[in-house]
């Protein structure tokens, strides 16, 4: 990441890339969450979903294609600030590690700076993930829906247990995102270095 690059450009380009990621990947994320949270069948009952394809078919049959995009408002709302905070955290992490302005960081130092950014993004990622998952597991187009949308879900969670309810699962999110962010930025810098070395722009 060039130190002279505008933070606004990173915010806009990162936000747009994040939106594209959510739009293309959310249906599979919905299927994943439903498979992970489906109840265990009682004796004599069949499983709710036999697998990925079966979950996809049943979701579309019962709820239409819109059912695959349940809970998408939360990650869409948070994706731009998440990317902005992530790059800010990475830049701050690099500054904290550097002893000299022109110091070239090692791969392990880049990993550490990237991991540092993962702590920052949890502030938005954790509640967003919780709301997304709760909306995703609401099934049936005509069945009673506990949550009417992202804002209603956040409001009900806060009413049930305050801010701690909204941030439930934050520790697990940190344990996932800290190493993931470290690998993301380390790989990003390594690929950029390889491409520049080979004369690519």
Q: Can you give the residue ranges of every domain in the chain?
A: 7-197
pLDDT tens digits for range 77-135: 877 778 778 888 888 898 899 888 888 899 999 999 999 999 888 888 889 889 988 98
The first and second tokens of residue 27, run together, are 């249906």
Which fold is adopted by the domain 7-197? Mitochondrial carrier fold (1.50.40)
Contact between residue 102 and residue 179 where contact means Cβ atoms under 8 Å apart: no
Q: What is the dihedral of CA 22, 23, 28, 29, to 10 degrees?
A: 30
Q: Kind and range of the H or E element at 101?
A: none
Quick one: DSSP state of residue 70?
A: T
**In the 8-state DSSP scheme, what is residue 68?**
G
Give the chain's mean pLDDT: 85
Segment 143-148 shows an average pLDDT of: 80
Name the pTM for this structure. 0.65
């Amino acid at each position: 990441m060039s130190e002279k690059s505008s933070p606004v450009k990173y915010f806009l380009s990162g936000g747009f890339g994040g939106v594209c990621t959510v739009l293309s990947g959310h249906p599979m994320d919905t299927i994943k969450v439903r498979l992970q949270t489906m109840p265990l069948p009682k004796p004599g009952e069949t499983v709710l979903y036999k697998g990925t394809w079966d979950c996809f078919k049943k979701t579309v049959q019962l709820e239409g294609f819109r059912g695959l995009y349940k809970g998408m408002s939360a990650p869409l709302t948070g994706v731009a600030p998440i990317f902005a905070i992530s790059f800010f955290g990475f830049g701050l992490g690099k500054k904290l590690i550097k002893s000299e302005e022109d110091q070239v960081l090692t791969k392990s130092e880049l990993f550490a700076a990237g991991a540092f950014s993962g702590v920052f993004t949890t502030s938005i990622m954790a509640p967003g993930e919780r709301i997304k998952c709760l909306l995703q597991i609401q099934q049936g187009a005509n069945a009673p829906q506990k949550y009417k949308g992202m804002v209603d879900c956040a409001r009900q969670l806060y009413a049930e247990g305050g801010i701690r309810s909204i941030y439930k699962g934050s520790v697990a999110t940190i344990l996932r995102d800290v190493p993931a962010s470290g690998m993301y930025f380390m790989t990003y810098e390594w690929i950029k270095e390889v491409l520049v070395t080979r004369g690519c722009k």
